[in-house]
Amino acid sequence: MAESLGPAQRLWSAGKRVLTTLLATGETRLRLAVLELEEERARLATLALLLGLSLILLLLGIATLTALVIILFWDSWRITAVAVSALVLLGSGVGAALWAMRLARRRTLLTSTLKHLALDRQLAEDSTREDG
């Protein structure tokens, strides 16, 4: 049947096949991106809940420990005990904030999708070089 088609019709048919292939590839990559976003959302929700619980427990523990240190040194070194406790807490808070900022700068969103898109582009470029 391909022999009965003219050159324009064969070109049109080939163009439609290429477009169909491109759309199928795009759909696959979009599905992968959506799946990654759903997984990331679930991971972030779990992480937020665990982070909130751990912060509450850590806050209670630190408050109790600070009160214990201040009570132990109340008679002789109360000002020193309060100052050292405050410095330790402030230093720990700054360290945790810097650590959190470093973690937040890491790029993890859609890494698999971007990797597959780069692979698709590389394959297309290699195919173009072989044809040309």
Distance CA 25, CA 113 (A): 12
**pTM tops 0.75:** no
Number of C-beta neighbours around residue 29 at 10 A: 15
Confidence of residue 38 (pLDDT cuts 50, 70, 90): confident
pLDDT at 112: 75
Distance CA 14, CA 2 (A): 11
**pLDDT higher for 124 or 52?**
52
Distance CA 16, CA 53 (A): 56
For 16, the token pair is 């439609």
Q: Summarize the confidence of residues 84-90 as an average pLDDT.
A: 86
Q: Where are the beta strands (DSSP E) in the chain?
A: none
Q: What is the pLDDT of residues 13-30, one digit of tens each?
A: 888 888 888 888 888 888
Q: Summarize the confidence of residues 113-124 as an average pLDDT.
A: 77
In the chain, the percentage of residues whose pLDDT exceeds 90 is 0
Q: Which residues contact 80 (CB under 8 A, 6 or more apart)?
A: 73
Residue 76 has pLDDT above 80, yes or no: yes
Contact 36, 117 (CB under 8 A): no
